[in-house]
Amino acid sequence: MKRKQDDVCEVIYVNREKVLSVRERMKPETTIQRLAETFRVLGDPTRVKILFALAQEELCVCDIANLLGTTNSAVSHQLRVLRNMRLVRYRKEGKMAYYALDDDHIRHLFDEGLNHVEEMKV
């Protein structure tokens, strides 16, 4: 016996006005791809921990490695991925490289994502 699915339409009907309205506002494929890549990069728990830490304080590689209990090399690799996606930036001060979130957009994106998952608690 086939079960009825409540989460799909029971009839086929396309609201052409809505589809056209959304189609006109749809972003270019390259923009969609970059956004998908950004979310893919954010799908790694270690990188999320790094972003959380950098949302609190500007930190150097050694600080982050100590905080996460991992190696400087592992942190440097993750920071390179984040930097390539323009999620973090660094500044040099003498022989030290300090990392921070790239801009307020990243902070807002991260904060909104965190708020979303914290509100999902069951």
- Which domain covers residue 79, as residue numbers? 30-119
- Decide if 8 is inside a domain: no
Please state the pTM of the whole predicted model. Answer: 0.83
Domain containing residue 110: CATH number? 1.10.10.10
> What tens-digit pLDDT sequence spans the chain (122 residues)?
566 678 887 888 999 999 999 999 999 999 999 999 999 999 999 999 999 999 999 999 999 999 999 999 999 999 999 999 999 999 999 999 999 999 999 999 989 999 999 998 76
- Decide if 81 is inside a domain: yes
- Decide if 56 is inside a domain: yes
Residue 122 has a pLDDT of: 62
- Decide if 98 is inside a domain: yes
- Decide if 24 is inside a domain: no
The number of domains in the chain is: 1
- Decide if 83 is inside a domain: yes
- Decide if 51 is inside a domain: yes
Beta carbons within 8 Å of 88's beta carbon, 6+ residues apart: 50, 51, 54, 79, 82, 99, 100, 101, 102, 106
